[in-house]
């Protein structure tokens, strides 16, 4: 089970971000949302961890950042499983 908060870097217009948030809510996975259009430091971080791209949603658990751009259920499930985010 996760001990550190899940951070999700987003923009308001991002459809993939909306889908990711929907799944996080559906499975009651708590997260803190950071809008990179409102936070220049967050935007720089997202670019740094994504090879210069403003790839959103970027989800961060601990020291690991993962882009779920081009969102699919399979990407989401793999992310959740890798970080053990679901409680049985």
Reported pTM? 0.90
Task: Kindly report the number of other CB atoms within 10 A of residue 76's CB atom.
Answer: 20
Domains and CATH numbers, the chain: 6-82 (3.40.30.10)
Residue 46 CB-density burial (10 A; 0-12 exposed, 13-18 middle, 19+ buried): buried
Strands across the sheet containing 58-61:
31-35, 6-10, 58-61, 64-67
Q: pLDDT tens per residue, the chain (88 residues)?
A: 445 679 999 999 999 999 999 999 999 999 999 999 999 999 999 999 999 999 999 999 988 999 999 999 999 999 999 998 875 5
Which pLDDT does position 1 carry in this prediction?
46
């Amino acid at each position: 089970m996760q001990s550190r908060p899940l951070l999700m870097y987003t923009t308001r217009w991002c459809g993939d971000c909306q889908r990711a948030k929907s799944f996080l809510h559906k499975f009651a996975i708590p997260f803190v949302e950071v809008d990179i259009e409102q936070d220049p430091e967050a935007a720089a971080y997202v670019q740094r961890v994504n090879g210069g791209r403003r790839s959103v949603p970027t989800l961060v658990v601990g020291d690991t950042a993962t882009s779920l751009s081009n969102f699919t259920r399979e990407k989401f499930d793999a992310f959740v499983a890798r970080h053990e985010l679901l409680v049985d």
